[in-house]
Structure 1
Amino acid sequence: MNYPVIKGASYALIHAPNLLLRQGTTQTTERLKNPNSEYLQKLPGKLRSFEEAVRYPANQVYIGNLLPDELAAIPKPWYENPVENGERQGKYGEIMPEEELLGMLKIVDAFDLVLLEESFQAAVKSKLAAHPVLGDLQDLRKLDRNPAGIDDIKKLVEAGLAEPLYLSDELVGCVKRAHEFDAALSAHVMLENLVNKASAVIGLKHLLAKSGLAAEEVDYIIECSEEACGDMTQSGGGKFAKAIG
C-alpha cells in the first residue's frame, strides 16, 4: 500500500435507552452508591423515543440526510424543532432501534453467551433479514438457533449469572458470564464487549456498502473504542479488530 487514502466514511447511531438505564456506567455506579437518588428516579422521563431520536436534527446531519448549514438554520433547542420527514437510513449510515441491536448481539456472539426469548428472537430475525445492509450477514442464521424460554432467562438473571436485556419494561433476553471467577469475563463486561463488537460490525457493513469497497480488499482494521477485551491474564488489554473483521 504505497498511497493510503480515505475512500469512505460511515456512521451508526444506535438508540438503546434500556441498556443506558440498566447497564450504563453512570447509572450502574449511581445505583450502587445511592439507589434511591433523584437522578435515577427522573432519568426515565428524560429519554427520547426512537422516533424522536430519528427526527432530532443533529442526528439527521450525522447520518448525512441534512447538511451542517441546514442544521444551523434550524432554531434551537433542536429537540423542539424535529425534522418532520427524518429517516433512519442516511447517506453515511443509519439510526438503529434497540431491538435490532439486541438481535445483533446474538449474531456476533461466538461463545453462546446471548440468550433471546423465542418470540422476540423470531421477530428480530425477520427485521434484520430485511435490513438493506445487514440482511446478507452469514451469521444471521444464529437467530434460527437455540431460542430461550423466559423462565430460563429469569433464573439466570435472578441468580446473578447474567445481565438482563430489556425492551421497554419487558425482559427479552440476557447475556451470561463467560467465567465463574474471572471478573474480566463477568456478564456485565461481556455485554459491554458484545455491544462494542455489534455496533462496530454495523458501522463496518455500512462503510463497505457506502464506499463500494470489497471486504476482501481490506488488509488491516484498526479498532479504537474505549472498551477492551481479554481475560484476567491480559488485564483487558485486547482490542476487537480481529473479531470485527
Structure 2
Amino acid sequence: MNSVMKGAGYILVHTPDMVIHNGTTQMTERIVNPDSGYLKELPTRLRSYDRVCAYYPNQVYIGNMTPLELKEIPGPWHDQTSPMDDRFGPFGEIMPQDEFYLLVQAVDEFELVFLDRDFVSQTKPRLKANPIISDYLFNRVKEGVDHARLKELIDDEGAEGLYIKDRIAGAVRRAHDIDSNLSAHVMLENLVSKASSTLALLHAVKNAGIDPNEVEYTIDCSEEACG
C-alpha cells in the first residue's frame, strides 16, 4: 500500500501570557531571582496579536505569501509591518490567546481545565465565528466558574493559572496529588500540545478535502499523553 500526502495544515497560536506565566524559563527565574531585570523587561518585548499577524514570515507560513515573495523584501523583517495581516490563510490560521484557552478546555477529557465565567461568555462568540471549529468542539466549552473558585484552585490546590494580562482567565488542575508527571504544569503542557495539534489537523482535513467521518484512525507524533 502506498501513502499519499493530500493536504497539510499550518497554524500559529499567539499566547504571550503563557510565555510570561507558564514558560519554564520564566517560572524558574521567578523562583531563583524574582526581581530580575529579565522578568521586568520580558512583557515589553512580546509582540501584540496584530503585530504577529502583520509579520511577513507568519503570513508566508499560513500561505498568504510565497517564500519567493518574501525573498524580494529586504530584511530584517522583525521591524517591518506587512500590509497583508490576515488571520486566515490557505494553509491555516493564527489563533489568538483567548480563543485558544477555550480550545484547550474543549480537548480536555479529564475536566482539568476551568475557565472564568465572564471570560467564557465574552470569548465564545469569537470562537463560534471560526469556521474551522466544529459544533462538537464548541459545545465542549463549559459555561465557566467564578473568580473565587479559580483563586482557590491556584492558591490552595496547586493548579496552574491561565492569564489575560494580569487577570486570571482560567486554571488547569493537576491530575494526581503525588505523581509529578501529572502535575498541573505537565498537564497544561500536554493539553496545549493537544489543542494546537487538533487545530492543525482540522485545517489539514479541510485543505485535503477529506470527510472527517471517513477517517478511520490518526497517528499523532506529538508528545502529549492526556486522552
For this structure pair, what is the TM-score category when the shorter chain's length is used for normalisation?
A: over 0.9
Report the residue type matching 1:40 in the other structure.
L
Letter in 1 for 2:195: A
Do 2:60 and 2:70's aligned partners in 1 also have CA atoms closer than 8 Å? yes
Matched residue, 2:180 = 183
User: Which structure exhibits the higher relative contact order, with contacts defined as CA atoms closer than 8 Å and separated by 6 or more residues?
Assistant: 2
Tell me which residue corresponds to 2:24: 25
Residues 139 and 86 from structure 1, CA distance in 2 versus in 1: closer, same or farther, beyond 3 angstroms? closer
Q: Secondary structure at the match of 1:174?
A: strand
Report the residue type matching 2:174 in the other structure: R
1:138: which partner in 2?
136
SS in 1 for 2:162: strand
Aligned residues: 227
**TM-score between both structures, scaled by the size of structure 1:** 0.87
Measured on the aligned residues, the alpha-carbon RMSD in Å equals: 1.5
Q: Percent identity, aligned pairs only?
A: 42
Cα distance in 2 between the residues matched to 1:124 and 1:194:
19
Q: Quote the offset at 1:14 in angstroms.
A: 0.1
CA distance in 1, matches of 2:224, 2:95: 23
TM-score (normalizing by structure 2)? 0.94
SS at match of 2:78: helix
SS state at 1:192 partner? helix
Deviations 1:142-192 (CA, angstroms, capped at 9, x unpaired) = 32x352000110111112521111012211111111111111111111111
1:10-49 CA distance string (max 9 Å, x none): 1110000001111112212222332222222211110000
Uncovered stretches (5+) of structure 2, i.e. residues with no partner: none
In structure 1, C-alpha distance between the alignment counterparts of 2:128 and 2:143, rounded to whole Å: 18
Name the structure 1 match of 2:46.
47
Decide which of 190, 201, 204 is 1:204's aligned counterpart: 201
The 5 Å alignment of 1:1-245 reads 2-134=1-133, 136-143=134-141, 145-225=142-222, 227-229=223-225, 243=227
| Structure 1, 117-126 or 97-106: larger mean CA deviation | 117-126
Q: What is the identity, as a one-letter code, of the residue corresponding to 2:140?
A: K
